[in-house]
């Protein structure tokens, strides 16, 4: 053993010392000469310095002086013991010390070198024994500490297990429950005895998914390390507790599965809340019936899971006189009525296994998930009507309500859920049209017609927002010289699926649904902006712009304000705007439209009657309305069908008569559908003012119309 190597680095040895250490016995003559000049303590200390590698030089000096003194006092054994005690244990040092002692002045008695060596050996052995003892004690302490630590960690784990807020259960891989903590017992309302020894697989619940138990099998089979799921359990008292479950596998050091540990968090409250929210989201708050969303969800599920060839049935129900009750007796009564109707429907149809849902307002639907044919669906519809036959008594009012039912019965794969509900709804409409209080069975052909009307009108509001409508302009030309007199704005719909739709394909639906009002406003502002633009750029030469308005628009009081605002916004001179109304508008219920039309003319706008001559015209309106023009229907002159009218001669004479009439009333007469030069020529000869038709130009974009206009001038 050498001096402690961890101590401070010793000062570099003098070169002589290095040599002396390398060959302590064979000292060179020079060295011996120098040594002989030194005293023994000096030589002794110098020797220690060469070996006292880690001690501070002053300490080595002191130690050298002390031990040299001991030797000089005849106590070499003490010197040896002291040196070993100070970690001078290098065998080379012993050899050197013995050499030095031998050469020392013989003032000493006995054999100091021998005594020194013997004491050194003893001291060294004792030191070694002491060190071994120290190591053994240290090992003992370490072991005891490790045991304590293990114990503490076990205790900590046990405390954790016992007092954890989550329920923890430990089971064998065979599935036997071995332990359960307090939380788990509380959660299950059970004692440890109730659980210990039972099989994990006994803890099934009807709402468990097959995946849960598959994951469990995989886990105990060592195929997976853990899994998580939400799982319900029966408590000891039979109540259900919902848990978030995490099961992990515990393996041996060699990897063999040994235990399963389940941690369960009680999520019953959260689950119930979730259920309540789901119920709220899927049920109508008023009647408690499944709502529209839930109904569609159910229908979609049925379509996704039904056996091939299975049939389903739908009864779409609308109450006949609900609106009257609501309007006359108030909403509270209306609500009570709906609740009563819902109750009757559920009572009558629920036991048959049919689903009753409320789609909104006074519309209900019955879904027959299993339907053996039309007769089944019709039977359900009869049950509906039967259930609502008896008047409903609310607040002393006896309300005979009645309903119309559209009945649909189809094989599941032949139709989508959305199309099925639409078809049932459209079928219902036929029951309504026929007077209500009846059911009507779905008919494919009638449905197809209605569907096209429906798809068009359903998409229309969106189409307006998405800018799918656009206007084309067709010239109206003076028959005398062919100059451009006016243009007619004609609306088109760029339908994303059906391509470009002509007004005949959607204006009637817009009129029926009322969408003509926003659409008409858009057409008017668009056409007026265009007219104003031309007015700015071409001044006096700018053409008048004709815009068609429907009967519904003409009856709408808002039209006057709308047009006033549009004129103000676009800064268009009112005289450049002409509205075309149909004869039916002119002849229809007069009061409101007459007021509206008069108010418009007061603003400086002009009016023309479109498609003149197609109705059984009672010409009285020519006297009552503030008109500026008549537009002769193209059917009148035989074009555009290309075929001459049966008695064309008579027709031409009538046109001539109308031209005279117009002139005498100061009206501009425009002939529509002019396709050839001959027709144009003949109309001019008869005294018509303007012509419109392919001969003069087809409906085109504003830019194309400008080209025509510029070519004209």
- Closest contact distance (angstroms) between CB of 606 and ligand C2E is 15
- Nearest Cα neighbor of 544 from 474, 469, 610 is 474
Whether the CB-CB separation of 471 and 522 falls below 8 Å is answered with no
Using the rule CB under 6 A, which residue among 174, 253, 481, 504 binds ligand C2E? Answer: 504
Q: Decide if residue 610 touches ligand C2E (CB under 6 A).
A: yes
- Closest contact distance (angstroms) between CB of 585 and ligand C2E is 10
Q: Looking at 61-69, 375-383, 487-495, 537-545, which segment touches ligand C2E (CB under 6 A)?
A: 487-495
Longest dimension (CA), the chain: 173
Using the rule CB under 6 A, which residue among 10, 503, 508, 574 binds ligand C2E? Answer: 503
Task: Give the C-alpha separation, 337 to 381, whole Å.
Answer: 20
**Per-residue tokens: 663:** 């002139």
Q: Looking at 249-257, 409-417, 595-603, 672-680, which segment touches Mg ion (CB under 5 A)?
A: 672-680
User: Given the complex with Mg ion, which of 63 and 671 has the nearer CB atom?
Assistant: 671
* DSSP state for residue 9 in the 8-state scheme: P
Buried b (16+ CB within 10 A) or exposed e, 457-487: bebbeebbeeebbebbbbbbbbbeeeebbbb
Whether the CB-CB separation of 76 and 97 falls below 8 Å is answered with no
Q: Looking at 92-100, 376-384, 392-400, 686-694, which segment touches ligand C2E (CB under 6 A)?
A: 686-694
Q: Which residue has the tokens 């902006």?
A: 529
Using the rule CB under 6 A, which residue among 383, 550, 570, 668 binds ligand C2E? Answer: 550
Pick one of ligand C2E, Mg ion, none as the site partner of residue 640 (Cβ within 5 to 8 A by kind).
Answer: ligand C2E
User: Given the complex with ligand C2E, which of 507 and 627 has the nearer CB atom?
Assistant: 507
Which residues is 231 bridged to in the sheet? 243
Q: Decide if residue 583 touches ligand C2E (CB under 6 A).
A: no
Give the phi and the psi of residue 404 in degrees, each rounded to 5: -115, 145
Question: Which residue has its beta carbon closest to ligand C2E?
Answer: 640
User: Given the complex with ligand C2E, which of 313 and 691 has the nearer CB atom?
Assistant: 691
Q: Estimate to the nearest angstrom the gap between the alpha carbon of 376 and the chain centroid.
A: 40
User: Given the complex with Mg ion, which of 284 and 610 has the nearer CB atom?
Assistant: 610
Q: Which residues contact 632 (CB under 8 A, 6 or more apart)?
A: 612, 613, 655, 658, 669, 670, 671, 672, 688
Total residues contacting Mg ion by CB under 5 A comes to 5
Q: Looking at 15-23, 265-273, 396-404, 572-580, which segment touches Mg ion (CB under 5 A)?
A: 572-580
Q: Decide if residue 553 touches Mg ion (CB under 5 A).
A: no
Using the rule CB under 6 A, which residue among 28, 128, 502, 701 binds ligand C2E? Answer: 502
Pick one of Mg ion, ligand C2E, none as the site partner of residue 423 (Cβ within 5 to 8 A by kind).
Answer: none
Decide: residue 576, CB within 10 A, 0-12 exposed, 13-18 middle, 19+ buried: buried
Whether the CB-CB separation of 525 and 491 falls below 8 Å is answered with no
User: Given the complex with ligand C2E, which of 53 and 550 has the nearer CB atom?
Assistant: 550
Q: Which residues contact 322 (CB under 8 A, 6 or more apart)?
A: 334, 337, 338, 361, 362, 401
User: Given the complex with ligand C2E, which of 220 and 549 has the nearer CB atom?
Assistant: 549
Give the phi and the psi of residue 308 in degrees, each rounded to 5: -60, 135
Q: What is the 3-state secondary structure (H, E, C) of 113-124?
A: HHHHHHHHHHHH
- Nearest Cα neighbor of 672 from 693, 656, 646 is 693
Q: Decide if residue 580 touches Mg ion (CB under 5 A).
A: yes
Q: Which residues contact 219 (CB under 8 A, 6 or more apart)?
A: 225, 226, 227, 247, 248, 249, 260
Whether the CB-CB separation of 356 and 364 falls below 8 Å is answered with yes
The contact pattern for ligand C2E, residues 449-478, with x = CB under 6 A and - = no contact, is -------------------------x----
Q: Decide if residue 640 touches ligand C2E (CB under 6 A).
A: yes
Using the rule CB under 6 A, which residue among 374, 562, 573, 675 binds ligand C2E? Answer: 675
How distant, in Å, are the alpha carbons of 280, 607, 627, 628 from that of 601? 55, 7, 9, 10
Going 114 to 116 to 118 to 121, the CA torsion angle's sign is negative
Q: Which of residues 72-91 bind Mg ion (CB under 5 A)?
A: none
Q: Decide if residue 232 touches ligand C2E (CB under 6 A).
A: no
Q: Looking at 213-221, 423-431, 513-521, 669-677, which segment touches Mg ion (CB under 5 A)?
A: 669-677
Q: Decide if residue 530 touches ligand C2E (CB under 6 A).
A: no
Task: Give the C-alpha separation, 114 to 101, whole Å.
Answer: 9
Pick one of ligand C2E, Mg ion, none as the site partner of residue 490 (Cβ within 5 to 8 A by kind).
Answer: ligand C2E
Q: Decide if residue 699 touches ligand C2E (CB under 6 A).
A: yes
Q: Decide if residue 673 touches ligand C2E (CB under 6 A).
A: yes
**Residue 204 DSSP SS3:** coil
User: Given the complex with Mg ion, which of 362 and 611 has the nearer CB atom?
Assistant: 611
Using the rule CB under 6 A, which residue among 406, 475, 693, 702 binds ligand C2E? Answer: 693
Q: Looking at 251-259, 403-411, 417-425, 545-553, which segment touches ligand C2E (CB under 6 A)?
A: 545-553
The contact pattern for Mg ion, residues 601-640, with x = CB under 5 A and - = no contact, is ---------xx-----------------------------
User: Given the complex with ligand C2E, which of 223 and 698 has the nearer CB atom?
Assistant: 698
Interface contacts to ligand C2E, rule CB under 6 A: 474, 489-491, 502-504, 507, 523, 548-550, 580, 610-611, 640, 672-673, 675, 692-694, 699
Interface contacts to Mg ion, rule CB under 5 A: 548, 580, 610-611, 672
């Amino acid at each position: 053993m050498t001096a402690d190597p961890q101590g401070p680095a010793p000062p570099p040895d003098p070169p002589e010392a290095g040599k002396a250490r390398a060959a302590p016995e064979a000292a060179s003559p020079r060295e011996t000469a120098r040594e002989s000049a030194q005293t023994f303590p000096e030589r002794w200390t110098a020797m220690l310095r060469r070996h006292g590698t880690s001690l501070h030089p002053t300490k080595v000096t002191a130690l050298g002086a002390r031990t040299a003194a001991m030797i000089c006092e005849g106590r070499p054994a003490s010197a040896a013991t002291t040196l070993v005690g100070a970690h001078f244990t290098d065998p080379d040092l012993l050899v050197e010390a013995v050499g030095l002692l031998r050469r020392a002045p013989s003032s000493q008695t006995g054999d100091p070198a021998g005594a020194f060596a013997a004491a050194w050996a003893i001291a060294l052995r004792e030191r070694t024994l002491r060190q071994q003892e120290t190591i053994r004690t240290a090992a003992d302490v370490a072991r005891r500490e490790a045991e304590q630590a293990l114990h503490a960690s076990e205790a900590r784990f046990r405390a954790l297990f016992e007092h954890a807020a989550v329920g923890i259960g430990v089971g064998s891989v065979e599935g036997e429950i071995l332990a359960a903590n307090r939380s788990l017992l509380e959660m299950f309302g059970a004692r440890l005895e109730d659980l210990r020894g039972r099989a994990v697989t006994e803890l099934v619940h009807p709402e468990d998914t097959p995946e849960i138990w598959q994951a469990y099998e995989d886990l105990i089979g060592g195929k997976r390390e853990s899994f998580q799921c939400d799982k319900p359990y029966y408590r000891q008292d039979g109540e259900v507790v919902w848990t978030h479950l995490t099961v992990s596998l515990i393996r041996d050091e060699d990897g063999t599965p040994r235990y399963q540990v389940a941690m369960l968090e009680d999520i019953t409250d959260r689950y119930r809340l979730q259920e309540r929210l789901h119920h709220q989201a899927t049920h109508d708050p008023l009647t408690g019936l499944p709502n529209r969303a839930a109904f569609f969800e159910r229908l979609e599920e049925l379509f996704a899971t039904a056996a091939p060839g299975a049939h389903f049935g739908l009864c779409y129900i609308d109450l006949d006189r609900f609106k009257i009750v609501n309007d006359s007796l108030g909403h509270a009564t209306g609500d009570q009525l709906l609740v009563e109707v819902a109750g009757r429907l559920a009572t009558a149809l629920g036991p048959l296994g049919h689903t009753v849902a409320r789609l909104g307002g006074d519309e209900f639907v019955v879904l027959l998930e299993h339907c053996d044919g039309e007769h089944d669906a019709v039977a359900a519809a009869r049950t509906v009507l039967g259930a609502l036959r008896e008047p409903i008594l609310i607040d002393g009012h006896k309300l005979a309500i009645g309903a119309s039912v559209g009945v649909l019965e189809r094989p599941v794969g032949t139709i989508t859920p959305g199309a099925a509900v639409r078809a049932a709804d459209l079928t219902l409409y036929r029951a309504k049209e026929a007077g209500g209080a009846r059911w009507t069975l779905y008919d494919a052909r009638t449905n197809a017609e209605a569907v096209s009307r429906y798809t068009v009108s359903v998409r229309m509001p969106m189409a307006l927002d998405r800018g799918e409508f656009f206007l084309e302009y067709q010239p109206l030309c003076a028959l005398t010289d062919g100059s451009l007199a006016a243009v007619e704005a004609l609306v088109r719909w760029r339908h994303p699926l059906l391509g470009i739709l002509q007004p005949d394909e959607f204006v009637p639906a817009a009129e029926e649904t009322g969408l003509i009002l926003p659409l008409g406003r858009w057409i008017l502002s668009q056409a007026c902006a265009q007219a104003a633009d031309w007015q700015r750029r071409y001044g006096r030469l700018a053409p008048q712009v004709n815009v068609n308005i429907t009967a519904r628009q003409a009856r709408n009081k808002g039209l006057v304000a709308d047009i006033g605002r549009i004129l103000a916004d676009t800064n268009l001179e009112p005289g450049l705007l002409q509205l075309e109304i149909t004869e039916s508008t002119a002849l229809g219920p007069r009061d409101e439209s007459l007021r509206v039309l008069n108010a418009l003319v007061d603003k400086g706008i002009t009016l023309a009657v479109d498609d003149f001559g197609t109705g059984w015209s009672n010409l009285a309106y020519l006297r009552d309305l503030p008109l500026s023009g008549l537009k002769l229907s193209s059917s009148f002159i035989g074009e555009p069908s290309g075929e001459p009218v049966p008695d064309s001669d008579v027709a031409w004479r009538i046109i001539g008569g109308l031209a005279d009439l117009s002139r005498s009333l100061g009206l501009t007469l425009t002939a529509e559908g002019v396709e050839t030069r001959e027709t144009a020529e003949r109309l001019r000869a008869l005294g018509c003012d303007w012509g419109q038709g392919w001969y003069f130009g087809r409906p085109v974009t504003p830019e194309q119309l400008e080209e025509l206009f510029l070519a004209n001038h």
